[in-house]
Structure 1
Amino acid sequence: MTVPVALYAATESHTVGFQQIQRGTADRVRNKRVNERTGEEVPYSEIVKGFELTEGEYVIVEPQELERLSPGRSTTIEITGFVDLDQVDSIFLDTTYYLGPRGKEYTKIYALLQKALEHSGRAGLALFSMRGKEYLTAVRAEGGLLVAHTMHFADEVRDPRREVDDLPAADTTVGEKELSVAEQLIEMLAVDWNPDDYRDTFADQVRELIEAKASGQEIAVSQGPAEKPTNVVDLMEILNRSLETAHARSADQPGGPTRAEAASPSRSRTRKTAPSPSRAQPKAVGGKKSTSTAKARLAAGAAGKKRTTASKKAIAEDLGALTKAELYKKATAFDIPHRSTMTRDQLQDAVKKARRRHLRTAS
């Protein structure tokens, strides 16, 4: 079934936007494309794409070559199959769009698909091209219209067992009393979902700050008392304290807690404090100190300039035994950009390259 559609953004961001300004001036700060070797600015027309094979070795791809491969822009969403949405994990869903018929002549077939999907409780799966990229898309009926969710492909979803440290084992057991108290707490704070009850209070405060400064006012922002972290975790103590707080709120309100109160329970103050990552540079990997002989010094210098395959393998094996958190600390020490968005394997590769550059510089 092919339905010509128009695509409409379903959401919008209200994040306050800022420009970069040099302090003490009204001068904009702009980013430039600069050759990292020469320091000279590079015009956009001279920039091509490069895929790194090994450090310093790239496969060059011209913009025209990518344009020939580009799927272009779809004017229709061609559904190839239908799936029960309950089978689709929410982690696969990405951006939501409203779909409308592309012209009055398509309203009947649009309505037919909308009602059929609504009655079946299923979503249509399709491949959809937009902005030079192909998307897996789920089309479903909602509120009398069709809605499209772009989706992640399977290889884009990270394995939580590789990304998250210290996850509990599948056979981890909890006490019946602890579980009972936790369930009571959940029931005490149960609310009906109403999106209007929630606002981005940080964005509101930023706008108030801008308005106050624009009118010449100076405002003081209270930080409140700092939380005192502790390394002691008593699960029953946490649950009982939270439950007592919920009961106290219910006693103050004969009709039970309001949505606003129930949506903001007291936070536990028993979080573990994570050690701050060290900024110290890792020690270079090497062998024993050289002797005072000229021959030994020459041998050591040659080894420093040209590392063997065995030493590269040792570096990889050393990093391969580290957790993601440990790799992130090393990435922080090397000041690797975009490290917070990297997978464990990407962190390992970035740290390995940074370590090699550090060793070359040290030698």
Structure 2
Amino acid sequence: MVNPVWTGTLTFGMVSLSVRLYSARERHGPVMHQFQRGTSDRIRYKRVNERTGKEVSRDDIVRGARVDEGDGEDYVVLEPQDLESILPARSRAMEIRGFVPRRQVDPLWYAATYFIGPKERAAAKPYRLLCSALERTERLGLATFIMRDREHLVLVGPQQGVLSASTLWWPDEVRDPEDVMPPIAETDLSDSELELAEQLVEAMAADWEPSDYSDAYEERLEELIEAKSKGRTITYEEEEPEERGTVVELTDALRKSLKERKKNGKGTGGKEKGGGATRARAPSPRRAEEPGGAAERTGKRTKKELLKEAGDLEIQGRSKMSRDELAEAVEEARNAPSRAAR
């Protein structure tokens, strides 16, 4: 269990329930510190007074904002009681103002996501009621609430069987493309180019399986740290990317891409039932195995879980392995002592 990041009241209509927010995500990986080169001396940062250079304790630190005063700059210091005095009367409430269609909000607006949990047993029924109603109607509750000295726009909806709260950026915080990048030239797209592009997209269609993906850099970083701690070096033999000739025509590039997908068996090209359009499906990234194979013996464990065990077993090159290759390597490493004994 983790500590809640916010506690308050969730309301919709005349219904209210006490809830807590919990972080829905966390970063993993080795914690890196800073050292002076050639030593094991840590680099530390201190809070110091800019004018005197003396260290300042946390209790003596307040917040402030810069204001322009004529030709110079000045600062307004804000005490904690100043900030508390401007909190709205319902500052501990997440009040749903309306329900919007689930697919109407573009991913661009999403900032962070939290799980919502009922604070007390009596809140379980209205909690389950709201969660089920949102699942059936495919809508999300649009609300506002205050957390960490900021007011947030938030969408409340079902996620993995519980309610979640996804904070959104405010309209004035979302940039327009023309404000940050040069304009894109207008071009004419032919029907044949569009058709080929659609076929290529369908040929590369795949289902979303989060467990099939992992952070390769983090895995290699862990291997590097482990190797250096034992006085070893580690290198990776990278496969050189296949050299491709320069393709001038977009249509040629699309045709060659489709041809390559079919040649490598990565597209089925079969018709859907009912005489629909051709719809190719990419095969699952996981290899098929015989019953009783390594993947079956290691259960439905995720690639990250297998990577951790592979690290415990000191299996080399694990960061380059697929999930099934990891399962086989873990199985072999487990059985190595028993085979040696025989």
Structures share fold, TM-score greater than 0.5: yes
Check whether the contact 2:203–2:267 (CA below 8 A) recurs between aligned residues.
no
Alignment partner for residue 176 of structure 2, among 146, 152, 159? Answer: 159
For 2:126 and 2:269, how far apart are their aligned partners in 1? Answer: 53
Work out whether 1:43 is the aligned partner of 2:68. Answer: no
* Residue identity matched to 1:238: A
For 2:111 and 2:117, how far apart are their aligned partners in 1? Answer: 19
Which residue matches 1:8?
Answer: 22
Check whether the contact 1:32–1:41 (CA below 8 A) recurs between aligned residues.
no
Check whether the contact 2:152–2:168 (CA below 8 A) recurs between aligned residues.
yes
1:4 is displaced (CA, Å) by 1.3
Which residue matches 2:285?
Answer: 260
* Residue identity matched to 1:138: L
Secondary structure of the residue aligned to 1:250 is coil
* Residue identity matched to 2:53: E
For 1:31 and 1:23, how far apart are their aligned partners in 2? Answer: 17
Percent same amino acid among aligned pairs? 38
1:244 is displaced (CA, Å) by 2.7
Which residue matches 1:31?
Answer: 45
For 2:217 and 2:89, how far apart are their aligned partners in 1? Answer: 39
Check whether the contact 1:11–1:96 (CA below 8 A) recurs between aligned residues.
yes
Secondary structure of the residue aligned to 1:43 is coil
1:144 is displaced (CA, Å) by 3.0
1:186 is displaced (CA, Å) by 1.0
Secondary structure of the residue aligned to 2:265 is helix
Secondary structure of the residue aligned to 2:264 is helix
Which residue matches 1:93?
Answer: 110
Which residue matches 1:322?
Answer: none
Structure 2: which 5+ runs fail to align?
A: 1-11, 271-280, 287-342
Check whether the contact 2:205–2:282 (CA below 8 A) recurs between aligned residues.
no
For 1:17 and 1:9, how far apart are their aligned partners in 2? Answer: 19
1:226 is displaced (CA, Å) by 8.2
For 2:255 and 2:171, how far apart are their aligned partners in 1? Answer: 41
For 1:245 and 1:106, how far apart are their aligned partners in 2? Answer: 56
For 1:26 and 1:72, how far apart are their aligned partners in 2? Answer: 52
1:98 is displaced (CA, Å) by 1.2
For 1:232 and 1:41, how far apart are their aligned partners in 2? Answer: 63
1:253 is displaced (CA, Å) by 9.5
What aligned pairs does 1:184-199 form with structure 2 within 5 A after superposition?
A: 184-199=199-214
Say if 1:178 and 1:215 are closer, same or farther in 2 by CA, change over 3 A: same
1:199 is displaced (CA, Å) by 1.0
What aligned pairs does 1:238-317 form with structure 2 within 5 A after superposition?
A: 238-250=253-265, 257-260=282-285
Check whether the contact 2:64–2:78 (CA below 8 A) recurs between aligned residues.
yes
Say if 1:254 and 1:229 are closer, same or farther in 2 by CA, change over 3 A: closer
1:203 is displaced (CA, Å) by 0.9
1:34 is displaced (CA, Å) by 5.3
Work out whether 1:60 is the aligned partner of 2:76. Answer: yes
For 1:239 and 1:180, how far apart are their aligned partners in 2? Answer: 10
1:24 is displaced (CA, Å) by 1.0
1:28 is displaced (CA, Å) by 0.8
For 1:187 and 1:254, how far apart are their aligned partners in 2? Answer: 9
For 2:246 and 2:86, how far apart are their aligned partners in 1? Answer: 55
For 1:227 and 1:145, how far apart are their aligned partners in 2? Answer: 46
What aligned pairs does 1:70-89 form with structure 2 within 5 A after superposition?
A: 70=87, 75-89=92-106
- What is the aligned residue count? 258
Alignment partner for residue 130 of structure 2, among 94, 113, 119? Answer: 113
Work out whether 1:122 is the aligned partner of 2:139. Answer: yes
Say if 1:27 and 1:47 are closer, same or farther in 2 by CA, change over 3 A: farther
Alignment partner for residue 201 of structure 1, among 205, 216, 232? Answer: 216
Structure 1: which 5+ runs fail to align?
A: 262-363
* Residue identity matched to 2:156: V
For 1:207 and 1:153, how far apart are their aligned partners in 2? Answer: 38
Would you tell me which structure has more helix in proportion to its own residues? 1
For 2:19 and 2:226, how far apart are their aligned partners in 1? Answer: 42
Which residue matches 1:21?
Answer: 35
1:46 is displaced (CA, Å) by 5.8
1:222 is displaced (CA, Å) by 4.3
For 1:72 and 1:198, how far apart are their aligned partners in 2? Answer: 45
Say if 1:98 and 1:81 are closer, same or farther in 2 by CA, change over 3 A: same
For 1:128 and 1:144, how far apart are their aligned partners in 2? Answer: 23
Which residue matches 1:343?
Answer: none
For 1:174 and 1:252, how far apart are their aligned partners in 2? Answer: 25
Say if 1:25 and 1:224 are closer, same or farther in 2 by CA, change over 3 A: farther
For 1:220 and 1:120, how far apart are their aligned partners in 2? Answer: 53
Say if 1:73 and 1:242 are closer, same or farther in 2 by CA, change over 3 A: farther
* Residue identity matched to 2:73: E
Q: Deviations over 1:279-314 (max 9, x none)?
A: xxxxxxxxxxxxxxxxxxxxxxxxxxxxxxxxxxxx
Would you tell me which structure has more strand in proportion to its own residues? 2
